[in-house]
Amino acid sequence: MAASPTYGELTDKGASTNIAWHEASVDRAERAKARGHRSAILWFTGLSGSGKSTLANAVNAALFKRGLATYVLDGDNIRHGLCKDLGFSDADREENIRRIGEVAKLFLDSGVIVLTAFVSPFRADRDKARALVENGDFLEIHCDAALDVCESRDPKGLYAKARAGQIKEFTGISSPYEAPENAELRIDTGGQELQQSVEIVISTLQDRGVIPAA
């Protein structure tokens, strides 16, 4: 620990001066100007195994290479941290998505392009996250792969457990996935090369003026 510096005594002058302290906040527009790009929430949604986290991380890496400020929120950094108190009841799932939406909003405000990669199966919960921010700041990206493709991948063995009844209310097996009806993007993560999917997301960000052309 560094030693604390020595400070002056309390003085009347100090106290009265301090009343004049004012907020020197930096707003989102200033950050965007300094960074050379707008911020946005890229909300990836889809079945387990549909490639949300893979695609989000690949887009993230591509944007990072271009010098842009980005961050991925996914199970790895949320489930054992901010949301570790939550289980899988309906109320807890809803609260999980609510918190992710609020954290994404903070990153948006900080000038970062934030990519969230969660199943987020319910339309109402996704719409609530969308409603937290301005129109145009939230891009819903449906990672659309057929259930049998996702189940054949089963990278974490979750489908096998769900089929064996060891996981209750597993999305696609014993709990519904409500596909987006008006997503900004639908990506064929069942059949398409990853690089092609990345390019579609990037070009959409360019077309919408979030990031400059390469």
Q: Which is nearer to a copy of itself, 99 or 163 (CB)?
A: 99
Binding test (CB under 8 A) with a copy of itself, winner from 123, 130, 153, 161: 153
The smaller minimum CB distance to a copy of itself, of residues 15 and 164, is found at 15
- Among candidates 167, 177, 87, 122, which has minimal Cα distance to 101? 122
- Note the maximum CA span of the chain: 73
CB environment 88-114: b (16+ within 10 A), e (fewer): eeeeebebbbeebbebbbebbeebbbb
Torsion of CA 172, 178, 142, 105, to 10 degrees: -120
| Least CB distance to a copy of itself at residue 165 (A) | 26
User: Least CB distance from residue 129 to a copy of itself, whole Å?
Assistant: 12
- The verdict on 42 binding a copy of itself (CB under 8 A) reads no
Using CB under 8 A as the binding rule, the residues of this chain from 118 to 147 that contact a copy of itself are 132, 144-146
> Per CB under 8 A, does 102 bind a copy of itself?
yes
Binding flag, residue 73, a copy of itself (CB under 8 A): yes
Q: Is residue 110 among the annotated active site residues?
A: no
Residue 12, exposed/middle/buried by CB under 10 A (0-12, 13-18, 19+)? exposed
Query: Total residues at the site for a copy of itself (CB under 8 A)?
Result: 75
Distance of CA 90 to the CA centre of its chain: 21
149 binds a copy of itself (CB under 8 A): yes
Beta carbon nearer to a copy of itself, 178 or 184: 184
The answer to whether 107 and 28 are in contact (CB under 8 A) is no
List, by residue number, the catalytic residues.
120
